[in-house]
Structure 1
Amino acid sequence: MTTVPSASQWGSPTANRRAFLIHGLDSSSHTFHRVASTLAAKGYLVIAPNLLGHALRKPGVDFKVQTLADDLLPYLQAAEYDIVIGHSMGALVVLSLLKYLPKTKHTSVVLIDPSLEIAAERMVDWKVKLSDHSRTNLTAEDYIALNPLWTREDAIWRVLGTQIGRSTNSDDHIDGNVLWSFSHLIADKPTAAALTVLIEDLRFNGALKLETVAKFKDIRAVIVPNASHWIQNEFPEVIVEEALRNIEE
């Protein structure tokens, strides 16, 4: 019997369509509560696992993104998914899983604002920024004040994600992936899979640059106006729309 890691689930176990959602750094499966609820209402069984070192799960033998991905392999061995979505570092986990997706089954893959490439000279500043944020202990009220498009539930799940995870998660995962370069994994995409990358509003100067994605053929890049890095909290309907677009086309 295949053993799978802890996860949250939405929808009916008898649904004939499945979606697999992977959260990002210092988060948990409930990061996707709005996306998951919408997909469940459309007839999908939605599975959202908790990554190693997150949501009370102990870390693995190292902090490489590929290790996080390999931990989730039992899910792909147990079932096939129509939709696969990942946010931030979870999107990098999805990229690391592309080589395991079915070669002939049409799969809709959506990456939400992944940091595909970070130059070595920026890594130190990025590490300090993430470490400071994880140790600030923001409250739900703080998150709502900083992110006016979030619901209170979004803010609560964000607080829980940072509080029940490991305090050194950001440091460990950055140090464990010193060469932060994942664009090359796009080449592992099966021909039958459709890949969409959602990018936060360019005015916010996020880590993902349009030119990083634009150089790849057969990839749909979508900039989401007024969205921050947390597109699933602010515009979950865009994520669902793009995921379903790939299924329906």
Structure 2
Amino acid sequence: MTTVPSASQWGSPTANKRALLIHGLNSSSHTFHRVASALAAKEYLVVAPNLLGHALRNTGVDFKVQTLADDLLPYLQAAEYDIVIGHSVGALVVLSLLKYLPKIKPTSVVLIDPSLEITAEQMVNGRVRFSTDVRTNPTVEDYIALNPLWTREDAIWRVLGTQIGRSTNSDDHIDGNVPWSFSHLIADKPAATALTILVGEPSKLESIAKFKEVRTVLFSNASHWLQHEFPEVIVEEALRNIQE
């Protein structure tokens, strides 16, 4: 019997359509609660695993993105998914899983604001930015004040995701993935897989532009947390690839 890591689930277990959602650093499966609920309303069984080192899960043998991906392989061995969505580092995990997706069955893959390539200088800045939530410990009210498009539930899950993960997650994963370079993994995409990248930061477009087979959508006046701000657009983009 295949054993799968801890996860949150939405929708009916008997649903014929399935979606796999993978969260990012200092977060948890419930960062996708609005996207997951919307997909469940469209008769999808939605599964969102918790990554190693997050949501009270211990770490693996190292902090490589590929290790996070390998930990989730039981999900792909247990079922086939119509939709796979990843946010931030979770999007890089999805890229690391592309080679395991079905070669014939169409799969809609959506990556939410991934950093595919980061220079050494950017990694130094990222270390500060990524670990800010852990150091400053913002409250629910802080997040709501800073992010007017977030719901209270978004802010609650953001706080919990930070507090129930490892305090050194950001630094460990930055140090464990040097050089930070993942765009080459797009070449592992099966022909039957449609790939869309949603971008909240324009600077990330440069590393994506050369991939003509990838649909790219840039959001104006958006943050890194598109699943909180534009969950309905994420669902629309995921379904677009299925419907086409």
Is TM-score (shorter-chain normalized) higher than 0.5?
Answer: yes
User: Which letter does structure 1 place at the counterpart of 2:239?
Assistant: L
Map 1:220-231 to 2 at 5 A.
220-231=215-226
Distance 2:50 2:121 in 1: 31
Map 1:180-219 to 2 at 5 A.
180-200=180-200, 202=202, 208-219=203-214
Conserved 8 A contact 1:5-1:49: yes
Q: Residue deviations 1:177-235, cap 9 Å, x none?
A: 11100000000000000000000153xxxxx5212111102100001222211000000
User: Which letter does structure 1 place at the counterpart of 2:167?
Assistant: S
Specify the SS of the correspondent of 1:24: coil
Distance 2:19 2:133 in 1: 30
Conserved 8 A contact 1:227-1:234: yes
Conserved 8 A contact 1:7-1:50: yes
Distance 1:201 1:5 in 2: 31
**Greater CA deviation, 131-140 or 63-72?**
131-140
TM-score normalised by structure 1 residue count: 0.96
Q: Residue deviations 1:142-161, cap 9 Å, x none?
A: 00011011000000000000
Structure 2, unpaired ranges of 5+? none
User: Which letter does structure 1 place at the counterpart of 2:212?
Assistant: K
1:139 aligned residue: 139
Distance 2:17 2:220 in 1: 30
Distance 1:54 1:40 in 2: 24
TM-score normalised by structure 2 residue count: 0.98
Conserved 8 A contact 1:201-1:226: no
Map 1:77-88 to 2 at 5 A.
77-88=77-88
User: Which letter does structure 2 place at the counterpart of 1:209?
Assistant: K
Distance 1:235 1:226 in 2: 11
1:6 aligned residue: 6
Distance 2:176 2:135 in 1: 19
User: Which letter does structure 1 place at the counterpart of 2:26?
Assistant: D
2:126 aligned residue: 126
Conserved 8 A contact 1:107-1:192: yes
Specify the SS of the correspondent of 1:227: coil
Distance 2:204 2:68 in 1: 24
Alpha-carbon RMSD: 0.9
Distance 1:143 1:132 in 2: 13
Distance 2:230 2:123 in 1: 28
Q: CA deviation at 1:131?
A: 2.1
Distance 1:93 1:122 in 2: 20
Conserved 8 A contact 1:110-1:243: yes
Q: Residue deviations 1:47-91, cap 9 Å, x none?
A: 000000000000000000000000000000000000000000000
Instruction: Count the aligned residue pairs.
Output: 244
